[in-house]
Amino acid sequence: MESSIFRYRIALWVIGIYGLLVIYQLFNLQIVNNTSFEEKSQENSIKKNVLSPPRGILFDRNFQVLVANKPSYTVRVTPADYDTSNNKILDKRLGEKPGFMKKILRQNRRFSSYIPVKIKRDADLPLIAWYEEHWEELKGIDYIVELQRDYSYGVKGSHIFGFIREISASQLRKMKEQYDMGDFLGASGIEKTYEDYLRGKKGYQFTLVDSRQKTVGRYLEGNADIEPGKGFDLVLSIDAGAQKKAEEMLEGKNGAVVAIDPSTGEVLVLVSKPDYDLSRLSTVISSDIWAEFMNDPQKPLFNRATMSIYPPGSTFKMVSAITALEEKIITPDFSVNCGGGYFYGNRFFKCTHVHGHVDLEQSIEKSCNTFYYQLILKIGLERWSDYASRFGFGRKTDLDITEENAGILPTEKYYKRIYGNADFPSGVLLSLGIGQGEISATPVQLAQYCALLANKGKSKKPHIVKGLIHSEDLTYIPLEFEDIDVHVSDETFDIVRNAMLKVVQGAGTATHLRMPELLIAGKTGTAQNPHGKDHAIFIGFAPFDNPKIAVAVMVENSGFGSTYAAPIAKEVITQYLKPSPPSQNLISSAGKPIDED
């Protein structure tokens, strides 16, 4: 066995020899070959510049442009080349307070003075024209063209499209591969859901730069460059005309309108009011503007169509009717006598009028509460909530807008949570029978429910985007959606649908929607509101024999559904079914026509 001094010496040799090798190589690189590396570093440095792709465009169902891109000018300063004696004139021309330029320069003092700093986005033309005249005196100032979202196509659609925002530092850390500083990405609505398609692929330009980052040429004459790939365009199922109409009709009110094509599940209209101007948010915004939106008591950013939940009121009566018929609890001739209400326990449950003898059809037509107080006691909670769940209540519709509320569908489990193991009071059940109490739904859920009533229980999952346009070969890629079937017989649907027709065409609660040329069927409702005036609700579809549109309207704090919600539904329905004039911008963003199958 060797002594330990022997091992000590071996280790010393290993460390020493490697140290000498490193020093030899350093000498080799830094002293012997210094000149050649110095030249490489001075003249031949390859710099990768990112080329941003244009974001995909949004079209409506008739290929009318909804949201596109527009070029905007961004003014920049390169501190190293900039002459500070221009501070005053620039402050004025940029429309900023005196001292703005000084502040910008001070803020960026820590950064390399060769890297340009953006000082004004979305600069107007007079400013650019002025710069072009005076560029010789304005060394270190330049401008670049960037693409910005263009919302000037007539449809506001704030809650459908959603806004885009500059990427935050924490998002950037997570998605370093796809994004760079200053990139925009979808923050809500369709822009957020389809971000991966809309974004496009970044391009790269390889330039040769000198030590001051001055471009001295293109690497390989630009042959190594990668062109940016435009994002996929989206074809929405929205109908621009009907959407615009609904936005106008609801202006100044708080509420929502959602319309769905019953056979396909395509969302034709989705309006939430109050809304907001997307162009104010989809740019670099100051924290003041952001705070203004967040602190607005009207909550314009809140999507009432998918997020707010209300008791559906009398529009829910069809669920009880269908359950009772389908489960053979009653026959269609079953009738009750309405004396203006119903005594149950120690309480009197009111009806709107004294209806006298009421059968099932009349109970919907005239919206008699007494009928449904008695009916729900026969049905019971479990069967009722089973059928309600088939129509999509109590869970998200999985609309392709991520901000959505599931609503509340009370079940026995739900009441157990509230009342413990004791039986829940039956009075609760009576309220549910007329769509009041704990049951609550979003306007989108009501529209889906109405679509299922219109199309006799068969539809597809509601969705806003129908298909994509491939960014390279411009082919249309339709999206597939899950079927929905509530498994209720056509006979049952016929009875209920006829009753809904009577609401408008007979002696019902919405006869003012009657038109000679178009058969609309529907149901009015009023959501009780303990905090103020009731909310008006209307669901309806048309044409009766071959429904093309099912719509749900909700107007907050207005009163009866018949008076305030139904007329809006009528306008949206007629607008949508009107033969449309040939579209003016039936041309894709790329300037090439689209073949629609």
Partner 1 sequence: MKIDYKIQDKIDFAILVPAFLLAISGLIAVYSSTINHPTANGNFDRQFIFLLLSVAAVIIIYFLPILTFRWITIVFYVISIFFLVLVLIMGKTVYGAKSWLSFGLIGFQPSELAKLGTILLLAIWLSNRKQDINNIFDLGVSLSIGILPVFLILLEPDMGTAIVFIAIIISMLFWAGINLFALFVVISPGVMIFMSLFGWLGLAGGLLLVITSLLFFRRNIFTSLTVFVVNLSSAFFFEFIFRLLKPHQQQRIDSFLNPDLDPLGNGYNALQAKVAVGSGGLIGKGFMQGNQTQLRFIPEQWTDFIFCVIGEEFGFIGSLIIIVLYILLLYRLLKLAHTVKDKFSGLIISGMIGLFFSHFAINIGMNIGIAPVIGLPLPFISYGGSSLLINMALIGLALNIYRNRKQYV
Residues binding partner 1 (CB under 8 A)? 1-2, 4-5, 7-8, 10-12, 14-16, 18-19, 21-23, 25-27, 29-31, 33-34, 36-38, 40-42, 45-48, 110-112, 114-115, 169, 172-173, 181, 206, 209, 211-213, 224
Nearest CA among 149, 268, 189 for reference residue 569: 268
Contact 258, 541 (CB under 8 A): no
Question: What minimum distance in Å lies between the beta carbon of 30 and partner 1?
Answer: 4
In degrees and rounded to multiples of 5, residue 349 shows phi and psi of: -95, 120
Nearest CA among 213, 216, 217 for reference residue 81: 213
Question: What minimum distance in Å lies between the beta carbon of 113 and partner 1?
Answer: 9
What is the C-alpha to C-alpha distance for residues 276 and 280, in angstroms, rounded to an integer?
Answer: 8
Q: Which is nearer to partner 1, 21 or 477 (CB)?
A: 21
Q: Which is nearer to partner 1, 37 or 419 (CB)?
A: 37
Question: What minimum distance in Å lies between the beta carbon of 595 and partner 1?
Answer: 39
Q: Which is nearer to partner 1, 117 or 128 (CB)?
A: 117
Cα distances from 185 to residues 205, 463, 481, in angstroms, run 22, 21, 26
Q: Which is nearer to partner 1, 51 or 115 (CB)?
A: 115
**Cβ atoms < 10 Å from Cβ of 218:** 14
Question: What minimum distance in Å lies between the beta carbon of 397 and partner 1?
Answer: 33
What is the C-alpha to C-alpha distance for residues 472 and 474, in angstroms, rounded to an integer?
Answer: 6
Residue carrying structure tokens 């519709």: 397
Question: What minimum distance in Å lies between the beta carbon of 452 and partner 1?
Answer: 42
Q: Which is nearer to partner 1, 105 or 127 (CB)?
A: 105
Question: What minimum distance in Å lies between the beta carbon of 41 and partner 1?
Answer: 4
173: Cβ contacts below 8 Å, ≥ 6 apart: none
HSE (side-chain half, CA atoms, 13 Å) at 322: 29
Q: Which is nearer to partner 1, 26 or 507 (CB)?
A: 26
Question: What minimum distance in Å lies between the beta carbon of 22 and partner 1?
Answer: 6
Q: Which is nearer to partner 1, 15 or 294 (CB)?
A: 15
CA 144 to chain centre: 30
Cα distances from 187 to residues 30, 170, 237, in angstroms, run 50, 14, 21
Q: Which is nearer to partner 1, 77 or 259 (CB)?
A: 77
Question: What minimum distance in Å lies between the beta carbon of 169 and partner 1?
Answer: 7
Question: What minimum distance in Å lies between the beta carbon of 8 and partner 1?
Answer: 5
Question: What minimum distance in Å lies between the beta carbon of 144 and partner 1?
Answer: 17
Tokens of 171: 């998002």
What is the C-alpha to C-alpha distance for residues 283 and 269, in angstroms, rounded to an integer?
Answer: 26
Tokens of 516: 């000679």
Contact 509, 419 (CB under 8 A): no
Task: For residue 414, give the DSSP letter.
Answer: H
What is the C-alpha to C-alpha distance for residues 568 and 556, in angstroms, rounded to an integer?
Answer: 13
Tokens of 68: 């596109």
Q: Which is nearer to partner 1, 113 or 563 (CB)?
A: 113
Nearest CA among 477, 310, 305, 474 for reference residue 404: 305
Torsion angle, alpha carbons of 288, 289, 290, 294, to 10: 100
Q: Which is nearer to partner 1, 112 or 475 (CB)?
A: 112
